[in-house]
Amino acid sequence: MSPRLTGGCQCGAVRFSVAGPLGRASLCHCRMCQKAFAAPYAALVTAGEDLVWVRGAPAYFQSSNLARRGFCAACGTPLTFEPEGGGVDLAILAFDDPSAIVPVIQHARWARADWVDQAADLPTREPGEAAAAAGWYAEIVSRQHPDHDTDRWPLPARDDAGPGAG
């Protein structure tokens, strides 16, 4: 039996669990996916039939006559694409370990943003800029749900929570 994969929204109000094998993972460049994810594309994978919402449940927006999209009503995180007639595609980056799911196909390339192919070649911050920004990053106390299941959420506040601790 495949191990269960877990994930959820940014705030932790909605969590899911699913066992593999998952379906085909994809990138969709259509304008509806771009707008729903506020990103150049949606990275999605078809869930198995044993998808379980273990905390909360998505709210839905009927984005077209043929599909609805699930999202967290509390924080807005996109979670699902659900075509009429069955199946649930989960947002790959909503998984606790998104690196475990690698897209194998692209859809709607005709709508792809012109600059997507060049994004990997964009420069990063110069060392001086990175050092200046490090102080800002050090002040961040994340309220994001951690990338693993928790018995309850939100977790109790801690004074020593550092970057990404939340």
User: What is the per-residue pLDDT for 161?
Assistant: 45
User: What is the per-residue pLDDT for 162?
Assistant: 46
Q: How far is CA 77 from CA 18, 69, 70, 115, in A?
A: 18, 11, 9, 24
Question: CATH 2.170.150.70: which residues of the chain?
Answer: 4-115
52 contacts 15 by C-beta, under 8 angstroms: no
User: What is the per-residue pLDDT for 138?
Assistant: 83
The stretches in the chain having pLDDT less than 70 are 1-2, 155-166
Q: CATH number for the 4-115 domain, one of 3.30.565.10, 3.60.110.10, 1.10.3470.10, 2.170.150.70? A: 2.170.150.70
User: What is the per-residue pLDDT for 20?
Assistant: 72
Amino acid in position 64: S
pLDDT tens by residue, 97-125: 999 899 999 999 999 999 998 988 988 87
Structure tokens at 35: 């707008």
User: What is the per-residue pLDDT for 76?
Assistant: 95
User: What is the per-residue pLDDT for 3?
Assistant: 81
User: What is the per-residue pLDDT for 105?
Assistant: 96
Chain-centroid distance of CA 110 in Å reads 23
User: What is the per-residue pLDDT for 86?
Assistant: 82
Burial of 116 (0-12, 13-18, 19+ CB in 10 A): middle
